[in-house]
Amino acid sequence: MRLLLPLAILLFPGILSAGPAEQPKYNVLFLISDDLTYTALSCYGNKVCHTPNIDRLAKRGVSFTRAYCPAPLCNPSRISLMTGVAPYRSGIYGNGEKLRDRLPDAVTLMQHFRASGYSVRGAGKVFHGTSAYDRDSWDFFFKQTGTKRNSFKRDPGLPADAWVRWGPLDCGDDEMFDARNAEWIISEMEKPQEKPFFLAYGLTKPHLDWKVPQKYFDLHPIEGIELPPVKKGDLSDLPVFGAKLAREVYDPSGEKNFAVKPDGDHANVVAHGQWRKAVQAYLATISFADAQIGRVLNSLDRSVHASKTIVVLWGDHGWHLGEKEHWRKHALWEVSTRTPLIFHVPGGVAKGQLCRRPVSLIDIYPTLIDLCGLPERKSLDGQSLRPLLEEPDRKWERPVVMTHGRNNHAVRTERWRFIQYGDGGQELYDHAKDPNEWTNLASSPEHSALKSKLAKWLPAINVKPRRERR
């Protein structure tokens, strides 16, 4: 045996490298915030929003400044991340699809950790809808019962048919759904742990309704609210389907599609003088979410697990506050698809640094199993971000592909965003010169070669949804 071992090392040089049995068994704290746009966090440059706890996490790890969702909608984005299967391969494009209906044999991120000896528990909005309680994914999932619903009077400036619902609540944090879930997550971390743990805490905020205690509105005085830049007539150079997305709530599953007024949500908000109030309410809701994240992080810091727990914070997609005359998500533009992504890994990776390489949320699955030394899964569409966590400025050639409905895709490199819709319409934006995506260059002959190059990244396979929208 003494003679055979050196030979084995020569033939298989990775035999003594850090494998699953030799790497430290990190715990994982998984933090998800619903509808959280990158533009609203101070660690990403926002000068108004109060997010000290997320900022604290960013100082401990690596913040990805160009992280993008697989789809600008809750359900397909989350399912794609949790399964490692892109929407164009699964056929899950909208909120009306269920995980196991389309992917009955998928091994979710949580399943893989369970099979690798982890205790896997969760609370709040992790998956979307009924998929949240996928029994194969969890050892235990906390379900609240009897949560008090707080009422408030609608802002008198809002029209009766306005889609927006916001307002301060006369209550404490402890009456809120997200706060109660935070309390449960904290109690789980305080328990003796027989196994390494994977704890997922999914916040429903800042998703509508923007209703949180008054103190969070007080953090953002209306006179200090900054509105995003908007170009008058911005939609004039868009293809038909692109302009339609700006004015309509489009759910590609065909389950829901709400047409709005001809000029869209933005015109309605502006006409009634509600723009600043809407932005204030959104930021207040983010500050509430930040406070709950802070409670969970404080508990981790006090525990014996702090030095061996990976913390990942991400949002499922972006959110427009009037940019491109659009509100909500439901589009393939930068603000709809760009999301915060922060990794804190104890020891051995960069701290307090920014990574500007384009990455996808679908990369989280392979990254975590790589960091934790779990068996590799070759069927995943993403790739491990570990090299970027160790060296944030390293070369990274792969662009990100985003999908919103069958055959509608965006390709994002560090400089360019190329969008191609199923009806043939195209958009092209140069982010080096046009970060607001105001000038569509797709019809410019001088960019034909570039478009062809970017189009090579468009998926060749586009699985049909169960119900195709007519």
In a domain, 439, yes or no: no
Other beta carbons less than 10 A from residue 442's beta carbon: 19
Higher-pLDDT residue of 304 and 262 is 304
Is residue 260's pLDDT more than 90?
no
Examine the residue annotation and report whether 74 is marked as an active-site residue of this protein.
yes
pLDDT band at 19 (very low <50, low <70, confident <90, very high): very low
Is residue 17's pLDDT more than 50?
no
Choice among 18-27, 232-241, 431-440 with the minimum mean pLDDT = 18-27
In a domain, 121, yes or no: yes
In a domain, 250, yes or no: no
- Peptide bond preceding 465 in cis form (omega within 30 of 0): no
Higher-pLDDT residue of 230 and 470 is 230
Give the pLDDT confidence score for residue 249 in this predicted structure: 78
Give the pLDDT confidence score for residue 258 in this predicted structure: 56
pLDDT band at 351 (very low <50, low <70, confident <90, very high): confident
pLDDT band at 130 (very low <50, low <70, confident <90, very high): low
Choice among 101-105, 126-130, 192-196, 275-279 with the minimum mean pLDDT = 126-130
Give the pLDDT confidence score for residue 268 in this predicted structure: 82
Kindly report, residue by residue over 354-398, the tens digit of the pLDDT.
999 999 999 999 999 999 999 999 999 999 999 999 999 999 989
Domain holding 285, by residue range, is: 26-234+272-397
Measured CA to CA, the distance from residue 8 to residue 386 in angstroms comes to 27
Of the residues 74, 326, 344, 355, only one is catalytic, namely: 74
- Residue 205 CB partners (closer than 8 Å, separation 6+): 33, 34, 178, 212, 285, 286, 288, 289
Is residue 4's pLDDT more than 50?
no
pLDDT (mean) for 400-418? 97
DSSP 374: P
pLDDT band at 150 (very low <50, low <70, confident <90, very high): low
pLDDT band at 401 (very low <50, low <70, confident <90, very high): very high
Is residue 39's pLDDT more than 60?
yes
Give the pLDDT confidence score for residue 313 in this predicted structure: 98
Kindly report, residue by residue over 285-316, the tens digit of the pLDDT.
999 999 999 999 999 999 999 999 999 999 99
Higher-pLDDT residue of 248 and 239 is 239
Tokens describing residue 205: 């905020």
Torsion 278-283-288-292 (CA) sign: positive
Give the pLDDT confidence score for residue 7 in this predicted structure: 34
pLDDT (mean) for 255-270? 69
Kindly report, residue by residue over 60-105, the tens digit of the pLDDT.
999 999 999 999 999 999 999 999 999 999 999 998 888 999 999 9
- Give the residue among 129, 100, 69 at the shortest CA–CA distance from 330: 69
Q: Strands 140-142 and 119-124, how do they pair? A: parallel
Q: Name residue 313's beta-bridge partners.
A: 31, 342
Of the residues 128, 317, 320, 409, only one is catalytic, namely: 128
pLDDT band at 200 (very low <50, low <70, confident <90, very high): very high
Give the pLDDT confidence score for residue 9 in this predicted structure: 32
In a domain, 19, yes or no: no
In a domain, 21, yes or no: no
What CATH number is attached to the domain comprising 87? 3.40.720.10
Domains of the chain: total: 1
In a domain, 56, yes or no: yes
Give the pLDDT confidence score for residue 2 in this predicted structure: 37
Encoded amino acid at 427, one letter: E
**Which burial class, exposed, middle or buried, applies to 46 when counting CB atoms under 10 A from its CB (0-12, 13-18, 19+)?**
middle
- Give the residue among 121, 255, 251 at the shortest CA–CA distance from 199: 121
Kindly report, residue by residue over 416-443, the tens digit of the pLDDT.
999 999 999 999 999 999 999 999 999 9
Examine the residue annotation and report whether 43 is marked as an active-site residue of this protein.
no
Higher-pLDDT residue of 152 and 193 is 193
In a domain, 2, yes or no: no
In a domain, 467, yes or no: no
- Peptide bond preceding 55 in cis form (omega within 30 of 0): no
